[in-house]
Amino acid sequence: MGERIIKEISRADYPDAKSLLGRCTEPGCLEEPKRWASPNTDLAIAFLRGWFERHVLETGHSILIVEPDDAGMATPLRGAGGATSSRLRPTLGESA
């Protein structure tokens, strides 16, 4: 039996969606930054909080939630070499 397309949903259907990035504030921490896009900022923050809650409770580290620039760049705090800009991979909430 074949499939029948009902509707295709793309990023264009969400013009007001803001992309937020959550990252650990501890330099050198191996916890990967996460990104979530949503038209509802509170919802995006809730998803990021859910991902990082275990990390915060287990390590005592803090999490920073930021809005990346238009090019998708953010400044993760990584390693002893100081902050560097990097393009982060999208996670479940956003397509590339």
Question: How many whole angstroms separate alpha carbon 36 and alpha carbon 52?
Answer: 13
Q: Is 64 exposed, middle or buried (0-12, 13-18, 19+ CB in 10 A)?
A: middle
pLDDT tens for residues 57-73? 999 999 999 988 766 66
pTM exceeds 0.85 for this model: no
**Spatial CA neighbour of 93 closest among 14, 6, 7, 25:** 14
pLDDT higher than threshold 50 for residue 81: no
92, exposed or middle or buried, with CB in 10 Å at 0-12, 13-18, 19+? Answer: exposed
